[in-house]
């Protein structure tokens, strides 16, 4: 019985892969984008980097307070 033919495209060799970095040195980010990340990931950022503490009369919000 003959060997079955492989289906689809063959897997590329990993040595043929090339990774390029086309990002700018500084990626522009709007304040609205920062607000979205703070709303959804603020608690995670605090866990990773530590909370900033209260600023003036501002109080720290929990993740439940950030829900829209």
Give per-residue pLDDT as tens, 30-62.
999 999 998 999 888 888 887 666 666 666 666
Q: Would you state the structure tokens that stand for residue 57, as one six-digit string? A: 């009369």
Tally of residues, the chain: 68
Residue 68 pLDDT exceeds 60: no
Q: What is the pLDDT of residue 30?
A: 93
């Amino acid at each position: 019985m003959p060997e079955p033919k492989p289906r689809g495209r063959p897997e590329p060799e990993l040595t043929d892969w090339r990774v390029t970095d086309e990002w700018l040195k500084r990626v522009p980010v709007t304040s609205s984008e920062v607000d979205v990340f703070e709303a959804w990931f603020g608690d995670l950022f605090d866990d990773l980097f530590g909370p900033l503490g209260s600023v003036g009369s501002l109080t720290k919000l929990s993740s439940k307070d950030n829900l829209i």
